[in-house]
Amino acid sequence: MPSGPGWYEATSSMDRRRDHSPPARWQDFEDLCLKLWRPRLDDAKKNGRAGQPQAGVDIFGRDPTTEAWIGIQCKQKGRWPPTDLKIPQIEEEIRKAESFEPPVSHFIIATTAERDVRSQEFVRELSDRRRAEGKFSVDLFAWDDLQDLLHEGPEPGLPVIPPPTRDFAGRTDELEELRKAVREHGGAMIYGVRGLGGIGKTELGFKLVELVGDDYPDGHILVELGGTSDHRLSTANAMALVIRAYEPQARLPEVDEDLLRIYHQVLKNRKAIVLLDDAAGAEQVEPVLPHTGCLTLVTSRKRFALPGLHRLDLDALSPEAAQELLLSLAPRLGAEAARIAKLLGRLPLALRLAGSAFAERPDLEPGEYVRRLEERSERVGLVEAAISFNYEKLEPELQQQWRALAVFPSDFGAAGAGAVWAMEAGAAKEVLGSSLYRVSMVEIHGRRYRLHDLARDFATSRLNPEERELAARRHAKYYLERWPDLGLALFVGAALLDPFVIGLGSLVSMVPMLLEWHNIRAARAWAAAKPSGDDSEG
């Protein structure tokens, strides 16, 4: 929480992301801007001292990726009565910044004024024209945008590889094979034998990273490719996600070849781990394979060859490991663990669902579980049968909430779930962590949540049309309003270019935007399919 003259915590709970009033003094506002941009620029500092001519630049620093100069103008505006930043004032600040030495490649105007659609539109169009003319580009940060910076902190959440689940069991031989492959090849691919889902490919990757991670001190990055979903991550977006893990404020080029060059430059001379999870095929993965020095791990349900990567076909757990996993979750199963493990095909996801069910419901008898599982597994797969059993044990309201999570194509945060459920993020976090995670109906990776793709398919099949429409509407509204530069027009049915083509909007939101790109793209697709003007509330 920032402190000092002019700061206080607002009492309104209407929007928890906007819980600060701006500094009352312009000096404090400059100090705040320096604090916000210092982690994002190299050698960021104030320009001169009070009373000296500053050529429209109050703070300047270098872009760590391009080493070009970035200039920031801090415009203090009255809050009551509210005063806006007028377009002539914007033009005047840009004119003054033209004379700053050395020349800047990008100019940011930060203001305590509220967001204004006309000003935003003016700056976007002007910035595009200036870029086309070879002049510096411009961004406008209103107070709401600075609130987002404060909310995200100086280091927004990065796509780091989480630790394996605490009940990880077995896989001793596979891990030894993979560690040998890391030493000899510098990378590995983990397949699900016969394309099985729920066999533990991703968790095995997490476990391997835990074992060898100390040898790669420069970062462990998870890139969820979404190969089994309808929202696969493009190669450009995958590279951008890795770049932003190291350079959150980097402005990315429009040409894929230039993006590829920056990608390899960022990873050059680094010893890092990149886990490319759920790959659709070689064409999605091959362009983003890092250079020697980094460890590359790939998981996929499909078999395909990539140069320099060892391939491992992952089968079900051994009988001993399957029993160990079940008993670690539900010790009361005792001798029945072997029978249930065999019935579940020794698939880790199914075993985890079963163990969680027995742990949370002392009245559940092994015989009843076996009987009902046998009935279902004749019609659907083993994992789906285990999901079905746990789902039916949820309270009706919790069933409805869990079904609605099918609208998320990949992982999501508590605030996103809260938006779909029409509740506060804190309450949603409690439901996710205390009610759903305990029975293995959601996975938790760091501060993010997700449904296994088989669980998502199951939930989707249980959604009725009205629920599906409501969940999709709330999902789209949340993600398109959170990134208004990308989504405002789309929410009324218009189409936008890919954000990498239009310059990615403001610097502040880029890393969070990339983490949410699956959700933003799904929201865009839903909104684009709606008739123009259809922006009714959910």
Domains of the chain, with CATH numbers?
26-152 (3.40.1350.10), 172-314 (3.40.50.300), 464-528 (no CATH)
Residue 366 phi, psi (nearest 5): -55, -40
Indicate the burial class of 295 (C-beta count within 10 angstroms; 0-12, 13-18, 19 or more).
Answer: buried
| The pLDDT of residue 447 is above 80 | no
| The pLDDT of residue 538 is above 70 | no
Contacts of 471 (CB under 8 A, 6+ apart): 404, 406, 407, 420, 463
Contacts of 521 (CB under 8 A, 6+ apart): 231, 409
pLDDT at residue 47, as a whole number: 83
| The pLDDT of residue 3 is above 50 | no
Residue 451 has which token pair?
């449904």
How does pLDDT run across 98-137, given as a tens digit for each residue?
A: 989 889 999 999 998 888 888 888 998 998 899 888 899 9
| Rounded CA separation 504/58 (Å) | 24
The highest-confidence range among 52-66, 201-215, 225-239, by mean pLDDT, is 201-215
Report the pLDDT averaged over residues 198-219.
Answer: 86
Percent of the chain's residues with pLDDT above 90 = 13
Residue 129 region by backbone torsions, left for phi larger than 0, else alpha for psi between -120 and 50, else beta: alpha
How does pLDDT run across 379-436, given as a tens digit for each residue?
A: 456 677 778 878 888 889 999 999 999 999 888 988 899 999 999 888 888 899 878 8
How does pLDDT run across 344-369, given as a tens digit for each residue?
A: 888 888 888 888 888 888 888 888 88
> CA-CA distances (angstroms) from residue 108 to 97, 140, 206, 243, 251?
10, 6, 40, 22, 13
pLDDT at residue 106, as a whole number: 92
Q: Is the peptide bond before 348 cis (omega within 30 degrees of 0)?
A: no
Strand 448-450 to 443-445 pairing: antiparallel
pLDDT at residue 170, as a whole number: 85
